[in-house]
A = this chain, B = another copy of it.
Amino acid sequence: MNAVVMAGGSGTRFWPASRKDLPKQFLNITGRAPMLVETCERLSPLVPYEQMIIVLGKNHEDLAKELLSQRQIHIIAEPMARNTAPCIGLGALYAQYLGCDTAVAFLPADHFIRDQEAFLEALRIAGRVAQKGGIVTLGIVPTRPETGYGYIRRVDTHEDGKDKRVYRVSAFVEKPDFETAKEYLTDGGYFWNAGIFVATPQTILAEIRACMPGLSEGLSRLRGTIGTDDFPNALKEVYEGLESISFDYGVMEKTKGDVYVVPCDCGWSDVGSWSSLYELRSSEYDSANNLVEGEALVIDCRNSFISSRNGRVVAVLGLERCLVVDTEDSLLVADLDRAQDVRKIVEALRKSGKERLL
A residues apposed to B, CB below 8 Å: 16, 297, 299-300, 308, 312-319, 322, 324, 326, 329-335, 337-338, 341-342, 344-345, 348-349, 352, 354, 357
Q: For A308, A312, A333, A344, which residue has the most chain B Cβ atoms within 10 angstroms?
A: A333
* Bound CA span A333–B338, Å: 17
Which B residues touch A342, using CB under 8 A? 317
When C-beta atoms are compared, the residue in chain B nearest to A317 turns out to be B334
- Of B317, B334, B337, which one neighbours A345 at CB under 8 angstroms? B317
Docked-complex contact A335 and B317, CB < 8 angstroms: yes
User: How many copies of the shown chain assemble into the complex?
Assistant: 2
Docked-complex contact B314 and A331, CB < 8 angstroms: yes
Instruction: Using known A-B contacts A313-B357, A348-B297, determine if residue A333 contacts B324 with beta carbons closer than 8 Å.
Output: yes
Report the minimum CB–CB distance from A303 to chain B (whole Å): 14
Docked-complex contact A315 and B333, CB < 8 angstroms: yes
Q: For A308, A313, A315, which residue has the most chain B Cβ atoms within 10 angstroms?
A: A315
Which B residues touch A315, using CB under 8 A? 16, 330-334, 345, 349
Instruction: Using known A-B contacts A312-B329, A312-B330, A331-B312, determine if residue A337 contacts B317 with beta carbons closer than 8 Å.
Output: no
When C-beta atoms are compared, the residue in chain B nearest to A299 turns out to be B344
* Bound CA span A337–B331, Å: 22
Which B residues touch A337, using CB under 8 A? 318
When C-beta atoms are compared, the residue in chain B nearest to A314 turns out to be B331
Docked-complex contact A344 and B329, CB < 8 angstroms: no
* Bound CA span A354–B349, Å: 34
* Bound CA span A63–B334, Å: 37
When C-beta atoms are compared, the residue in chain B nearest to A336 turns out to be B318
- Of B297, B338, B349, B357, which one neighbours A318 at CB under 8 angstroms? B338
When C-beta atoms are compared, the residue in chain B nearest to A308 turns out to be B331
Which B residues touch A349, using CB under 8 A? 297, 313, 315
Instruction: Using known A-B contacts A312-B329, A354-B313, determine if residue A319 contacts B299 with beta carbons closer than 8 Å.
Output: no
Instruction: Using known A-B contacts A297-B348, A341-B299, determine if residue A333 contacts B314 with beta carbons closer than 8 Å.
Output: yes
* Bound CA span A85–B34, Å: 61
Can you list 7 A-B pairs with a CB-CB distance of less than 8 A? A313-B354, A315-B332, A315-B345, A316-B332, A317-B335, A318-B341, A319-B333
